[in-house]
Structure 1
């Protein structure tokens, strides 16, 4: 007998990104994966993307993986780029399976199938990109043996996926100083230290190595201030987790950084093979030289919102930053 339907929870997210360049940028083209879309357990009520420079071109689209994006071009000289994303989104906790196929250690991938087989066709079209190596997630022989040891055999797959999720949480240490965006995954596996991006990509490598489709998820997770303390404005960050394919149920959300299944405190921005497919803001610029980057994220439950305006920077004050030394530390 099924229980009561999940309750929808609504959140407001403010995500600000600022690039301050040492010299003037004459031309720039950017792509922003900062536009959430509707999903089975996510409803987008409002979303806006604001750029502080006049745009020569601007267009929205949907990429190969089904993600919404915004492309824009700037043809006026500038030393400061500010992109502000605002969104109101409702999410509900995904229904976690009570049963699933028994995992026997064999790959879920099919070498061939009957074109009349609708299940096989759906699997091939949905999962093919997430079974093979990708630019930031190469094949790791050590990950395969680690995966088989933690998945075990003879138990329901959904249980084993959660067991692996908890194993990464218990065996690896969250350490922002241990890695950068370009740190090889083999090093993360060796040192057992990193951040959410590393742990998500490591789990994906392990799952793909044994034939379980897995994809990289980008978005936000609600953080909780200490008891009696206010929510800090701008102190949150984007988050990364995993979705693994479970026959009969589809994609299951798993967060190895926190050792748990995805709940109603996650908002999805985009999915892809790895981080390179879902970078929140990327681009190509002419000029600029060295630059500093500031990112501010605030995810607020609707119940905490007040009648005052949501926190955001005053674009009219941006020029004040240009007189300060450019800090490229950590870039």
Structure 2
């Protein structure tokens, strides 16, 4: 399907700010499951914009506003075609072991997904006697969807995973970090994905950037799973990039001088149509 995306981030400052440096990760990725037809980044006031690819291959824009300003607008517009991909076939867990060395960075602990007994804390039974990795992942995805409660007021961007494990109420970022903690402890390479969701009113998490999980399946590649919506990541999921956790793919972050305590407003609109 064809998706048109408009993502605006606005900062309002009570006093003049200057030398605002922002790191922007809003450019959708180019890969087998999607084709980026166009991307434009508009900044007001005028800014110096450069770009590079980060360690994980995502395009990162650097926005530097030298002059004094009380209002900063960063607007990203993209047109992306998403493509249907086949579901994986039955694959034994044992096929993972020769592959784990190539994906160590998606198995080890990170600041937001620290080491811990996450399968036990979330009540997940280790897959003893189960020999179909994709089926296990799909069942785990469904189980977490039923177990967790989507609640935009329950957590913040900095809520620790251990705190979420206690009340199990939160948003897509929390659901994703929980599934990462569980799968990594089970020896399954897993990475955090940031992107957009065309929901058509059917799914939650489309009001801003969305998050889901990609788990490595030997012979198939990275399988996208969305525990927030109990589905695989298919044509309605538009990927920006991936990393170990949220911090690696946060959409916009930066620093500035002056300005006082600023306010940030974010709006995301995704329009979809058949190709």
Quote the RMSD (CA, aligned, Å). 2.0
Name which of 97, 108, 121 aligns with 1:132.
108
Q: Match for residue 273 of structure 2?
A: 302
CA distance in 2, matches of 1:154, 1:164: 13
Cα distance 1:147–1:47, how it changes in 2: closer, same or farther (>3 A)?
farther
CA distance in 1, matches of 2:237, 2:274: 16
Cα distance 1:250–1:75, how it changes in 2: closer, same or farther (>3 A)?
same
After TM superposition, the structure 1 = structure 2 runs for residues 163-202 of structure 1, keeping only pairs within 5 Å, are 163-202=139-178
Q: Is the 8 A contact 1:150 1:160 kept in 2?
A: no
Cα distance 1:152–1:298, how it changes in 2: closer, same or farther (>3 A)?
farther
Give SS of 1:49's match.
strand
Q: Match for residue 95 of structure 1?
A: 86
Q: Which moved more, 1:144-153 or 1:62-71?
A: 144-153
Q: Mark the structure with the bigger radius of gyration.
A: 1
Q: Is the 8 A contact 1:148 1:210 kept in 2?
A: no
Cα distance 1:90–1:183, how it changes in 2: closer, same or farther (>3 A)?
same
Q: Is the 8 A contact 1:34 1:269 kept in 2?
A: yes
Name which of 253, 261, 264 aligns with 1:290.
261
Paired residues, what number?
Answer: 272
After TM superposition, the structure 1 = structure 2 runs for residues 14-29 of structure 1, keeping only pairs within 5 Å, are 14-29=6-21
Name which of 254, 276, 281 aligns with 2:225.
254
Q: Is the 8 A contact 1:41 1:91 kept in 2?
A: yes
Q: Is the 8 A contact 2:142 2:227 kept in 1?
A: yes
Q: Is the 8 A contact 2:2 2:81 kept in 1?
A: yes
Q: Is the 8 A contact 1:147 1:206 kept in 2?
A: no
Name which of 33, 37, 40 aligns with 1:48.
40
Q: Is the 8 A contact 2:122 2:165 kept in 1?
A: no
Shift of 1:19: 0.9
Shift of 1:190: 1.1
What TM-score, normalized by structure 1, do the two folds share?
0.78
* Structure 1: 5+ residue stretches without partners: 1-8, 111-119, 227-234, 305-331
Shift of 1:58: 1.9
Shift of 1:62: 0.5
Q: Is the 8 A contact 1:17 1:293 kept in 2?
A: yes
Q: Is the 8 A contact 1:150 1:167 kept in 2?
A: no
Q: Deviations over 1:85-112 (max 9, x none)?
A: 00000002321112212x37xx9456xx
Shift of 1:23: 1.4
Q: Residue 33 in 1 paired to residue 21 in 2?
A: no
Shift of 1:225: 3.7
Q: Match for residue 154 of structure 1?
A: 130
CA distance in 2, matches of 1:208, 1:31: 28
Q: Residue 210 in 1 paired to residue 186 in 2?
A: yes
CA distance in 1, matches of 2:171, 2:264: 19
Q: Deviations over 1:274-309 (max 9, x none)?
A: 0001011010111111111111111101359xxxxx
Hey, which of these two has a bigger chunk of strand by percent? 2
What TM-score, normalized by structure 2, do the two folds share?
0.93
Q: Is the 8 A contact 2:126 2:186 kept in 1?
A: no
CA distance in 1, matches of 2:269, 2:210: 12
